[in-house]
């Protein structure tokens, strides 16, 4: 009869218990390791500078095709997860610009032409935009699924024939649903900003929400000052870069040197997540260097800088005003090397593009 040693017998009893303990502990261990390890969400807002209301018939001289190529190449390098565009156009000459960008990046896209809301009479507005072969408005692009979208008409308090809208998209991000708003409000129209704030606040508590766009006003405006005093209403660039001017407009697109000295492009964050709080990891300006035309002349991608932000998730209890200490290094492609200078007789890059400004 074969006899087993006491040590082997003891081990045979112990092994199943060890296996059970390992099986029970492994999921917990992995869950703990994975908590908060999802990569930050990279979001970007950018005013493209369209080619003008009459670009369906005439070349306006803004070199939209060359600037679009530059913008697409830079977006591929930056790899944002979500992009809010303003002055995204669809014209007889250049086609559907936001769709072209989305196709180049492999992203989903929603586009809402504001020019189809001039009189508020659908068939009349569509007839006008069809006749001139041009329409423009905000767009939202995402590498993640866009599950819903909505368009809000904004009040035309200052300019009756200058329609503005707010576009919202609900995005199924890896760390939870995210509401993204893309806005381009009229210059000096405080009542439009008030309405944008109201619509943004309506989504408090529905998950993370971000308002991005060209608000055509500085951060010292009465409305934006109130926003920044409001708990949970976070200016991503300002909280990551206290004291930095951060000018995003007006860039003369045909000079060598930077001329943008006014901050009107923003990323605002509301956090309504139940699993943790959003944290601004970093924020910086992009599209801040000129390219070259075939003849060697300077050409900037737009008359605006883009604003990029990385939004991470922290455990519950850390509010969205927290900024992580680590920050992205400034890209060697986009260093700010030159001080702001003004030409003796500066050319307004929008002198040929008067619509929507």
pLDDT the model gives residue 26: 40
Average pLDDT over residues 83-96: 94
Helix, strand, coil distribution of the chain in percent, nearest 5: 25, 30, 45
Q: Which of 42-46, 156-160, 197-201, 278-282 has the lowest mean pLDDT?
A: 156-160
Q: 3-class SS at 220?
A: coil
> What are the start-end ranges of the H helices in the chain?
6-34, 64-78, 97-105, 122-132, 190-201, 222-229, 236-240
The alpha carbon dihedral of 338, 340, 345, 348 has a sign of: positive
Q: 3-class SS at 224?
A: helix
Q: Is the peptide bond before 250 cis (omega within 30 degrees of 0)?
A: yes
Percentage of the chain exceeding pLDDT 90 = 56
pLDDT the model gives residue 152: 97
Of 212, 209, 210, the C-alpha closest to 184 is 212
- Higher per-residue confidence, 272 vs 327: 272
Q: 3-class SS at 282?
A: strand
What CATH homologous superfamily does 39-314 map to?
Endonuclease/exonuclease/phosphatase (3.60.10.10)
Q: How confident is the model at residue 134 (pLDDT cuts 50, 70, 90)?
A: confident
Of 15, 89, 77, the C-alpha closest to 44 is 77
Residue 326 has pLDDT above 90, yes or no: no
Asked if residue 90 lies in contact with residue 135, where contact means CB atoms within 8 angstroms, the answer is yes
Q: Which of 46-50, 183-187, 231-235, 262-266 has the lowest mean pLDDT?
A: 231-235
- Higher per-residue confidence, 335 vs 152: 152
The alpha carbon dihedral of 152, 351, 250, 217 has a sign of: negative
Q: How confident is the model at residue 118 (pLDDT cuts 50, 70, 90)?
A: low
| Chain segment 51-86, per-residue pLDDT in tens | 766 555 566 789 999 999 999 999 999 999 999 999
- Higher per-residue confidence, 278 vs 299: 299
Q: 3-class SS at 266?
A: strand
Q: Give residue limits of the domains in the chain.
A: 39-314
Number of Cβ within 10 Å of residue 342's Cβ equals 11
pLDDT the model gives residue 120: 64
pLDDT the model gives residue 317: 47
* DSSP for 91-147, written as a single string: ETTTEEHHHHHHHHHT-EEEE--GGGGSSS-HHHHHHHHHHHTEEEEEEEEESS-EE
Q: How confident is the model at residue 175 (pLDDT cuts 50, 70, 90)?
A: confident
Asked if residue 165 lies in contact with residue 28, where contact means CB atoms within 8 angstroms, the answer is no
Please, which residues have CB within 8 angstroms of residue 195's CB and are 6 or more apart in sequence?
A: 152, 154, 155, 166
pLDDT the model gives residue 34: 36
Q: Report which DSSP code applies to 163.
A: -
Please, which residues have CB within 8 angstroms of residue 308's CB and are 6 or more apart in sequence?
A: 42, 43, 44, 78, 80, 283, 284, 285, 286
Rg (CA), the chain: 25
Average pLDDT over residues 300-307: 98
* DSSP for 25-51, written as a single string: HHHHHHHHHHTT-SPPEEEEEEE----
Of 327, 40, 317, the C-alpha closest to 175 is 40
């Amino acid at each position: 009869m074969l006899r087993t040693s006491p040590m082997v017998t003891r081990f045979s009893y112990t092994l199943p218990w060890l296996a059970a303990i390992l099986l029970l502990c492994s999921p917990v261990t992995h869950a703990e390791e994975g908590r908060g390890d999802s990569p930050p969400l990279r979001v970007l807002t950018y005013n493209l500078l369209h080619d003008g209301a009459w670009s369906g018939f005439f070349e306006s001289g803004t070199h939209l095709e060359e600037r679009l190529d530059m913008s697409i190449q830079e977006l591929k390098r930056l790899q944002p997860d979500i992009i809010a565009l303003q002055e995204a156009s669809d014209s007889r000459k250049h086609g559907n610009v936001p769709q072209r960008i989305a196709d180049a990046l492999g992203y989903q896209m929603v586009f809402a032409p504001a020019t189809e809301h001039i009189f508020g009479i659908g068939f009349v507005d569509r007839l006008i935009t069809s006749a001139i072969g041009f329409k423009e408005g905000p767009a939202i692009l995402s590498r993640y699924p866009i599950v819903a979208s909505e368009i809000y008409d904004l009040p035309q308090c200052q300019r009756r024939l200058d329609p503005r809208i707010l576009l919202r998209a609900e995005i199924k991000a890896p760390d939870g649903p995210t509401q993204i708003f893309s806005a381009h409000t009229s210059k000096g129209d405080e009542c439009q900003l008030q309405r944008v704030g109201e619509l943004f606040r309506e989504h408090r508590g529905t998950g993370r929400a971000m308002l991005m766009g060209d608000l055509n006003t500085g951060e010292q405006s009465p409305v934006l000052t109130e926003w920044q005093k409001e708990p949970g209403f976070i200016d991503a660039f300002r909280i990551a870069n206290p004291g930095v001017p951060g000018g995003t407009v007006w860039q003369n697109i045909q000079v060598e040197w930077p001329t943008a000295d006014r901050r009107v492009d923003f990323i605002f964050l509301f956090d309504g997540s139940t699993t943790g709080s959003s944290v601004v990891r970093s924020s910086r300006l992009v599209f801040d260097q000129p390219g070259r035309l075939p003849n060697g002349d300077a050409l900037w991608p737009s008359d605006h800088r883009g604003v990029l932000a990385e939004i991470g998730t922290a455990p519950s209890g850390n509010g969205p005003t927290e900024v992580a200490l680590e920050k992205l290094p400034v890209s060697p492609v986009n260093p700010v090397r030159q001080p702001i200078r003004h030409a003796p007789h500066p050319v307004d890059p929008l002198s040929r593009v008067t619509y929507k400004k």
